[in-house]
Amino acid sequence: MRFLEEVLVFADVILWKRKNVTVRILLVTLAAWLVFERSGYTLLSLVSSVFLLLVAILFLWAKSAAILNRPPPPLPELHLSEEMANEVATFFRLHINTLLSVSHDIALGKDSKLFFKVAVYLWLIYFLGGLTDFLTLGYTSIVVILTIPALYERFEYHIDKCVIAAYRKLQQLYVKLDGEYISRLQKWILEQKKLS
């Protein structure tokens, strides 16, 4: 039940039903993107700088507290239980084994359709990676995720009408290509098989 509530909240944010949260997400994302672009920082360098500052502050606080007979900084006891570590390890092991199994099937040519899907996605990632850096891609993805569904919900009728028209034109193009080229290619392949 809790999961369903979280999904509904997420859907409300994406569809701009909670405008203040959506606008805040967009503004914080835009501000972070601008800071990273203007400062020349990367995410890793910023995180390491923040952790370095935090560790230095805590270290100086603890040393000064010892000298001034004050209590040390209030830090929670940090530890990872064996049960939690085992659950995380099991989760990752199952997903990695599934990924390796699928990769094995693709490499051995057992699933050609999946191979072509993976190849197209990898090529698309390669192409997008060449056009932009990771930070800009992340920002653009968030903007797309927060605008496209809301725009679709608002203009659903018009978008559906255009998509249906485009789908019909693609079907006509496919029929034309199938009649002219694909059926000829299939006949030629069958003739070549018979000859050999």
Residue 178 lies in a domain: yes
Residue 160 lies in a domain: yes
Residue 125 lies in a domain: no
Q: How confident is the model at residue 1 (pLDDT cuts 50, 70, 90)?
A: low
| Span 34-75, pLDDT tens digits | 888 888 777 778 788 889 999 899 899 888 988 988 888 887
Residue 182 lies in a domain: yes
For 155, the enclosing helix (H) or strand (E) is none
User: What is the rounded average pLDDT for all residues in the chain?
Assistant: 84
Give the total number of structural domains in the chain: 1
| Span 89-117, pLDDT tens digits | 999 999 999 989 888 888 887 877 888 88
Is the pLDDT confidence value at 3 over 70? no
Residue 161 lies in a domain: yes
Share of the chain above pLDDT 90, in %: 16
Residue 177 lies in a domain: yes
Is the pLDDT confidence value at 129 over 80? no
Domain that holds residue 177: 155-196
Is the pLDDT confidence value at 167 over 90? yes
Is the pLDDT confidence value at 173 over 90? no
Residue 122 lies in a domain: no
Is the pLDDT confidence value at 132 over 70? yes
Residue 36 lies in a domain: no
Whose tokens are 């701009």? That residue is: 16
Q: Over the range 25-52, which residues count as b (16 or more CB within 10 Å of their CB) and which as e?
A: beeebeebbeebeeeeeeeeeeeeeeee
